[in-house]
Copies of this chain bind each other. A is one copy, B any other.
């Protein structure tokens, strides 16, 4: 029988527990309007305190939602009325940083920006980065295998994790705080937990890989005449930049127009009306070398007709201006009511996929306003469909149109945001029945009472 907050408070008198209005007032997911109906928010300060709480909940069949920065985009942390939120926000210490080993050991509730800052103090970087860096926590980023803007060079959050501590559903603490790049001593169990969205265990601590911070970043913004040119430029810059390419972001024409037309916060950096705009960053040794290389690559690409206009950011302020065009979320909300997607499609299929998707949307929802941008270096597209209606059936039809063709083009319904509760219906489009059966088998093995993030990712 599920617990009450009174039960929990009595069993764990020193546990920090938010109840009533203190709990209800907390936002539960990025952009979520849903009220927080959880019975309360427990905030353990240590792994041991968290483990004891989970063990107690498991015995009493009390479902738990784990919360980090609450910035996920798939309603994973929107609590049901009988659920207890377990927040890692008070487990927020950087425990150790070793410049010699280039590792940092952190508690799960540390925000990403805090890790960036601590690493920078030693000339190092933790090379996972995303817009919500001020609020997203390391624990949340690990449990969701977060992506972001530098994946083309450094991989996803998974690739930054060397070691992990996880609390299992029965309260067992599995401490595996490996610190070395290579460890083939038996199964590498951390990968089961990375990206499983908190359904198999709760991340409490981690050892992250640090790398040398590139001394200089050159930022380019290019207008490009065709999709074919976009693909050629990816290979041109990737092969020609000698290992320095760290970002390759693409904006489709309609996205760029929306983001540079009032009331957008940005004016156009290049003229509107080109088919594609590419934001490229090369992270290298110094400005002379890196910019010299960039100019050379631009010149050869322009000769081949791959670039029709472009600029190089001359300083950090100009760099921020370009990124602001991409990151102006309030302007994107102009399209509300909308559906936002986070799909991957192999480059060889992407152009035809988008043409068909747009045609189907136009046929069935003539008032749709669709804009596309994405981490093209990773085959990852963000598709935002302004529906022109808040009719539920119409919004669901948009999902079917966007997701439906993905199996035929080796695409996926989620590149980086995960499944949460919002995409559960569509998981079967990206995973086979055998895979889903094995996911359920794993879930059953590690959480037989189904107390951890129940109903997220998988149906019961």
Contact = CB atoms under 8 A, between A and B. Distances in A.
A358 interface: no
Contacts of A315: none
A287 to B, nearest CB: 11
Interface residues of A, number: 96
B182 A188 contact: no
Contact of A178 (B175, B188, B412, B434): B412
Q: How many copies does the complex hold?
A: 2
Nearest to A406: B185
Contacts of A411: 180
A125 to B, nearest CB: 10
A186 B242 contact: no
Interface stretch (A25-33, A211-219, A306-314): A211-219
Nearest to A155: B159
Contacts of A348: 98, 100-101
B412 A183 contact: yes
Interface of A: 98, 100-101, 103, 123, 144-145, 147, 151-153, 155-156, 158-159, 172-189, 191-192, 194-196, 200, 211-216, 231, 235, 238-244, 246, 283-286, 289-290, 293, 344-348, 375, 378-380, 410-419, 423, 427, 430-432, 434-436, 438-439, 441-442, 445, 457-458
A246 B243 CA distance: 10
A183 to B, nearest CB: 4
Contact of A416 (B184, B187, B242): B184
Contacts of A410: 177-180
A184 to B, nearest CB: 5
A181 B151 contact: yes
Given A186-B431, A238-B212, A430-B186, A344 B243 contact: no
Nearest to A236: B212
B186 A283 contact: no
